[in-house]
Amino acid sequence: MEGDAAPTADMIRAQLRRLRTAAGMSQEDFGRLVHYSGSMVSALELGQRPLDRLFLARADEVLTTGGLLVYLLKLAERDGQPSWFRPWLDAERSARQLRCFQPTLIPGLLQTENYARAVIRCDDLLSDDEVERRVHARLDRQSLLVQPEPPQFVAVVDELVLRRDGEDVQALMAEQITHLIASVERPHISLHVIPAETGLHVGLSGPFNLARGADGGWVGHMEHQIDGLVVDGDHEVATLLARWEMIRNRALSRRQSIDLMKEVVTEWT
């Protein structure tokens, strides 16, 4: 864990050492209880190995922290997000309505762990540890859809997203689309598919997201290969909302989209 996340990661290690010591356990004793070697515990506490979510979850159980260490890890992962992405995370977390258009990928809030990992691994410049950190951060974002009062989430994708071909991805896509079908059974989640025969449409200019806060105001977000941009100017937001309506009008209904997903997953299996 690097950059802005480092201070939080150091705090987790310090808390781990303090709690272990207060419990009267050596690193070897503690390691036996969490199913790690004493040398691995030492490496994690000294920062010689990256923090491990499974290890911290077991540590929380052994030390009866009430989930403190895993919670701190979530904070560290958020701190490790690029500075340009954090304003959107805040808008997303507090939104009452979310809109997402994705012409090339399954929206992040609806991705399975395996799909997210496969997409993130496409960047050969990322280490295995960084890939896993990003996967867990993406999955943590999805918790907002299962909270007691979740936002209304509506997504639109191109049919091509569902029909990503290749023998190496068939099982992956079957699992992912099955997950989509289960997700949209929840009343606050909708996914609409733009049929392949639609041809050209305004959404082909690129993906974007919209979030409506409790105050009724909208915020937009657009991401590209290098970074992203949060859009909150009246004119820009109005443009994105207008484009959203145009895109949504080109897509199938909720029921038609579910039927299409069922057809596709049958082909994959």
Reading the block at residue 232, the tokens are 């909150």
CB-CB contact of 4 with 79 (8 Å): yes
Average pLDDT of the segment spanning 157-167:
85
pLDDT at 78 over 70: no
The architecture CATH gives domain 86-268: 2-Layer Sandwich (3.30)
Cα 188-72-55 angle, rounded to 5 deg: 100
List % helix, strand, coil for the chain (3-state, nearest 5). 60, 15, 30
Q: pLDDT tier at 227 (50, 70, 90 boundaries)?
A: low
Higher-confidence residue of 84 and 182: namely 182
pLDDT at 210 over 70: yes
> Cβ atoms within 10 A of the Cβ of 222, count?
16
257 DSSP 8-state letter? H
Q: pLDDT tier at 2 (50, 70, 90 boundaries)?
A: very low
Average pLDDT of the segment spanning 188-195:
96
- DSSP letter string, 187-247: TTEEEEEE-GGG---GGGG--EEEEE-TTS-EEEEEE-SS-EEEE--HHHHHHHHHHHHHH
Task: Measure the CA–CA gap between 72 and 81, rounded to whole angstroms.
Answer: 15
Reading the block at residue 58, the tokens are 């077991």
With 0.95 as the threshold, say if the pTM is over it: no
151 DSSP 8-state letter? P
7-78 and 86-268: identical CATH topology: no
Average pLDDT of the segment spanning 234-238:
91
Higher-confidence residue of 176 and 134: namely 176
Tally the C-alpha atoms within 13 A of residue 253's C-alpha that lie toward its C-beta: 2
> Cβ atoms within 10 A of the Cβ of 193, count?
26
Residues with Cβ within 8 Å of 256's Cβ and at least 6 positions away in sequence, in order, are 193
Higher-confidence residue of 182 and 205: namely 182
Looking at the DSSP assignment, which residues form a beta bridge with residue 146? none
* Dihedrals phi, psi of 221, to nearest 5 degrees: -145, 130
Q: pLDDT tier at 257 (50, 70, 90 boundaries)?
A: very high
pLDDT score for 85: 64
Highest mean pLDDT among 18-32, 80-94, 135-149: 18-32
Q: Which range is least confidently modeled, 28-37, 114-123, 162-171, 247-256?
A: 162-171
Cα 216-221-222 angle, rounded to 5 deg: 155
Average pLDDT of the segment spanning 63-88:
74
pLDDT score for 1: 45
Share of the chain above pLDDT 70, in %: 91
pLDDT score for 7: 66
Q: Where do the structural domains in the chain lie, given as residue ranges?
A: 7-78, 86-268
pLDDT score for 86: 67
Instruction: Indicate the average pLDDT of the chain.
Output: 86
Average pLDDT of the segment spanning 41-58:
82
Cα 213-240-243 angle, rounded to 5 deg: 130
pLDDT score for 266: 87
Q: Which range is least confidently modeled, 4-18, 36-50, 208-222, 230-244?
A: 4-18
Name the CATH superfamily housing domain 7-78. Answer: lambda repressor-like DNA-binding domains (1.10.260.40)
